Amino acid sequence: MLRIVLSTLRHRKAGFAGAFVALLCAAALVCACGVLLDTGLRGSVAPERYAGAPVVVTGDQFVHQRKIKKKGKVKHKAKAIAERAWLPAPVADRVRAAGAHDVVTEVTFPAEIGSGADESWGHGWESAALTPFTLREGRAPGARDEIVVDAATARANGLHAGSRVRVASAEPGVYRVSGVTRQALKNQAAIFFSTAEARRLAGHPGMVTAIGATGSKAAIAGALRGTRATVHTGKDRGKAEFLGAEKSRIKLISMGGALGGTALLVAILVVSGTFALSVQQREREIALLRAVAATPRQVRRMIGREALLVGLVAGPLGAAAGLPLAFWLRDRFRGLGALPPNLDLVVSPFPPAAAAVAAVVAAVAAARLAARRTARIRPVEALGDAALRPARLGAVRALAGLLVLAGAVVLTVVLAGLHTDAASSPVTMLAAIVWTVAVALLGPVIARAAVAVLGVPLRAFPVGGRLADANLGTGARRLASVITPLTLMMGLTATILFVQTTMGHASARQATEGTVAAHIAGPKVPHGTAEEIRRTPGVTAVTEVVHSTVRVGLENYGIQGVTPSGLDKTMDLDVRKGDIKNLDASSIAVSTTAASRLHVAPGDTLRLTLGDGTPIAPKVIAIYGRGLGFGDLTIAHDLLAAHVDDPRGTLLIAGTAPKGVPTTDAASPAEDKASTNAEVNYVAMGLIIAFTAIAVVNTLAMSTADRARELALLRLVGTTRGQIARMLGWETLAVVLIAGVLGTAIAFAVLTAFGQGMTGGAPYVPPLAHLGVLAWGALLAAAATALPARLAMAARPADVIGARE
Torsion sign across C-alpha atoms 717, 722, 724, 726: negative
Q: How large is the greatest C-alpha to C-alpha distance in the chain, in angstroms?
A: 101
From the centroid of its chain, how far is CA 26?
18
For range 663-672, the mean pLDDT: 51
Q: Which of 380, 370, 374, 439 is nearest to 404 (CA)?
A: 439
Q: Which of 468, 439, 444 is nearest to 456 (CA)?
A: 468
pLDDT higher at 638 or 267: 638
pLDDT confidence of residue 443: 83
User: How far is Cα 163 from Cα 175, in angstroms, rounded to an integer?
Assistant: 8
Using DSSP bridges, classify how beta strands 189-193 and 146-149 pair: parallel, antiparallel or unpaired.
antiparallel
Torsion sign across C-alpha atoms 522, 527, 532, 533: positive
CA torsion 390-394-399-401 (nearest 10°) is -40
User: Average pLDDT over the chain, rounded to whole?
Assistant: 85
**Cross-strand partners of 543:** 652
* Residue 662 confidence (pLDDT) above 70: no
Torsion sign across C-alpha atoms 106, 110, 111, 116: positive
pLDDT confidence of residue 245: 77
- Determine contact, residues 44/344, Cβ cutoff 8 Å: no
- Burial class for 200, CB neighbours closer than 10 Å (0-12, 13-18, 19+): middle
Render pLDDT for 127-158 as a digit per residue (tens, 0 to 9). Answer: 999 999 999 999 999 999 999 999 999 999 99
- Determine contact, residues 664/625, Cβ cutoff 8 Å: no
CA torsion 504-509-515-519 (nearest 10°) is 70
- Determine contact, residues 590/620, Cβ cutoff 8 Å: yes
pLDDT confidence of residue 563: 95
* Residue 389 confidence (pLDDT) above 60: no
Q: Which of 40, 46, 26 is nearest to 345 (CA)?
A: 40
* Residue 386 confidence (pLDDT) above 50: no
pLDDT confidence of residue 387: 47
User: How far is Cα 574 from Cα 514, in angstroms, rounded to an integer?
Assistant: 7
Note the pTM of the prediction, 2 decimals. 0.82
pLDDT band at 485 (very low <50, low <70, confident <90, very high): confident
Render pLDDT for 33-82 as a digit per residue (tens, 0 to 9). Answer: 889 888 888 888 889 999 999 999 999 999 988 877 766 677 788 888 99
* Residue 309 confidence (pLDDT) above 90: no
**Cross-strand partners of 649:** 525
For range 331-356, the mean pLDDT: 84
pLDDT confidence of residue 6: 58
pLDDT confidence of residue 670: 46
For range 15-40, the mean pLDDT: 83
For range 327-351, the mean pLDDT: 83
Q: Which of 548, 510, 528 is nearest to 651 (CA)?
A: 528
Torsion sign across C-alpha atoms 429, 433, 438, 443: positive
User: How far is Cα 471 from Cα 459, in angstroms, rounded to an integer?
Assistant: 12
DSSP state of 112: B
DSSP state of 586: T
Render pLDDT for 263-292 as a digit per residue (tens, 0 to 9). Answer: 777 777 777 777 777 776 666 677 777 676
pLDDT band at 209 (very low <50, low <70, confident <90, very high): very high
* Residue 659 confidence (pLDDT) above 80: no
**Cross-strand partners of 65:** 77
CA-atom Rg of the chain in angstroms = 32
pLDDT confidence of residue 4: 61
In one-letter notation, the amino acid at residue 483 is: I
**Cross-strand partners of 559:** 548, 633
Range name among 142-151, 487-496, 787-796 with the lowest pLDDT average: 787-796
pLDDT higher at 265 or 325: 325
Please list, residue by residue across 164-187, b when 16 or more beta carbons sit within 10 angstroms of its beta carbon and e when fewer do. ebebbbbbbeebebbbbbebbbeb
The residues, ordered by sequence, that sit 6+ positions from 434 with a Cβ below 8 Å of its Cβ are 404, 407, 408, 411
- Determine contact, residues 168/111, Cβ cutoff 8 Å: yes
Q: Which of 322, 285, 320 is nearest to 306 (CA)?
A: 285
* Residue 575 confidence (pLDDT) above 90: yes
**Cross-strand partners of 633:** 559, 590
- Burial class for 298, CB neighbours closer than 10 Å (0-12, 13-18, 19+): middle
Helix (H) and strand (E) counts in the chain? 26, 26
Range name among 326-335, 600-609, 710-719 with the lowest pLDDT average: 710-719
User: How far is Cα 2 from Cα 9, in angstroms, rounded to an integer?
Assistant: 11
Angle 550-555-556 from CA coordinates, rounded to 5°: 40
- Determine contact, residues 441/475, Cβ cutoff 8 Å: no
One-character DSSP codes across 258-273:
HHHHHHHHHHHHHHHH
Select, from the ranges 35-44, 214-223, 359-368, 376-385, the one with the highest average predicted confidence (pLDDT). 214-223
pLDDT confidence of residue 606: 96
Helix, strand, coil share (%) of the chain residues, nearest 5: 60, 15, 25
pLDDT band at 397 (very low <50, low <70, confident <90, very high): confident
